[in-house]
Homo-oligomer: A and B are copies of this chain.
Amino acid sequence: MKTTRRQNLFAAALVGALAFTTIARAADPLPSWNDGVAKQSIVDFVAKVTKPGSLEFVPVAERIATFDNDGTLWAEQPLYFQFLFAIDRVKALAPQHPEWKEKEPFKFLLAGDLKGALAGGEHALIEIVAGTHSGLTTEEFEKIVKDWIATAKHPKTGRRYSEMAYQPMLELLAYLRANGFKTFIVSGGGIEFMRAFAEQVYGIPPEQVIGSTGKQKFEMRDGKPVLVKLPAVDFIDDKEGKPMAIQKFIGRRPIAAFGNSDGDLQMLQYTAAGSGPRFCLYVHHTDAERKFAYDRKSSIGRLDKGLDEAAAKGWTVVSMKDDWKTIFPAEKKIKR
């Protein structure tokens, strides 16, 4: 349901009259969000946990908010962006890996057969990521990702990947931080992949980025200690892994959690199960016109059980079509 300008003016007058304004139009912290239930639920939650003396006040140190990344903070179609990065790496590294011509899933990628490469499922994804991310020091890898994020463009939109962060979510991150929240990413994506751009794109420093990890080894090179990435998975930060990673890395239960898929369900359940005020939100990809629409049957970002649980528990479900005025940052706003 869209609100009209007249409705907006009426709502603003009403809020003003009630004298405990939480959203002043002049300084709306979430300008890309349409007024509605989703936006109001966010503003109400922030207002109640930050009001000194209120029963639901939460001290700053406990204002932990965790965000999934793919499909929640930035787009994830036609494939997770880290996978598009890995495909670019397979092509760049192919001359050094003649064996890939005969080896699945690499041979499919080199022949341009994405469907064939993906037929191997999660195992194939892990193979490709491990094959292209390992052998490098953590600092070499960081540089490669930074170069890629600064130059590579999305095959459909032609935008840089950093320009495919969701503008309403960037506003939400900033709004929470302005209210004393510490914002974390808790994503199935590679921890070092995300850290290479999270500070620039989301304002989230590396130590607040949690993701899947690979094994590493400590080594002296030219008398200097380095960490070398190994082709082996250490931990997958998805589903049950998310609360486990939150416990390991943060050690404190979040009071707010944000996701878009069934992979985020356990994180939201874990967040909701704490005592005191809690906020859980799902981003629902309903916008076929401006971007992509998918949910219960998608192989990427499937949102099925999560939609049912959100309805049963009264969690906020954001309809990208109805709740967001815009999806991506305006072209003119993008720093190049």
List the interface of chain A (C-beta within 8 A of B): 61, 64, 138, 182, 191-192, 195, 199, 205-209, 213, 216, 218, 224-227, 240, 243-244, 247-252, 266, 269-270, 273
List B contacts of A207 (CB < 8 A).
64, 182, 207-208, 249-252
Q: In the docked arrangement, what's the CA distance between A261 and B138, Å?
A: 26
> What copy number does this chain have within its complex?
2
A182 contact set on B, CB distance < 8 A: 207
**Do B273 and A225 touch across chains, with their CB atoms under 8 A apart?**
yes
Give the docked Cα–Cα distance between A199 and B244 (Å).
Answer: 21
Note all chain B residues with C-beta closer than 8 A to A244. 216, 218, 227
Docked-complex contact B225 and A61, CB < 8 angstroms: no
Q: Inside 8 A of A191's CB, which chain B residues have their CB?
A: 248, 251
Q: What's the nearest-Cβ distance from chain B to residue A198, in Å?
A: 9
Interface centre among A182, A191, A224, A248 (most CB of B within 10 A): A248
With the chains together, A265 CA to B71 CA distance in Å? 42
Contact A225–B192 (Cβ < 8 Å): no
Asked if residues A250 and B206 are in contact (CB atoms below 8 Å), the reply is: yes
- Nearest B residue to A139, CB-CB: B253
Do A224 and B192 contact each other (CB < 8 Å), given the known contacts A247-B138, A251-B207? no
A266 touches B225 (CB 8 A): yes
Chain B, residue nearest A198 (CB): B251
Contacts of A205 in B (CB 8 A): 61, 252
- Is A225 in contact with B270, judged by CB distance below 8 angstroms? yes
Does A224 contact B273, Cβ atoms closer than 8 Å? yes
Please measure, in the bound complex, the distance between the C-alpha atom of A270 and the C-alpha atom of B218, giving whole angstroms: 10
Whether A251 contacts B209 by the Cβ 8 Å rule is: yes
A-B complex: 4 closest residue pairs judged by Cβ atoms = A206-B251, A218-B240, A224-B273, A207-B250
Whether A61 contacts B199 by the Cβ 8 Å rule is yes
Query: Closest approach, in angstroms, between the C-beta of A169 and any C-beta of chain B?
Result: 21
* B199 & A269 in contact (Cβ 8 Å cutoff): no
A208: chain B residues at CB < 8 Å are: 207
A64 to B208, CA, bound (A): 13
A61 CB contacts on chain B under 8 angstroms:
199, 205
12 contacts between A and B (CB under 8 A): A182-B207, A206-B252, A207-B207, A207-B208, A207-B249, A207-B252, A216-B244, A224-B273, A225-B243, A225-B270, A225-B273, A227-B243
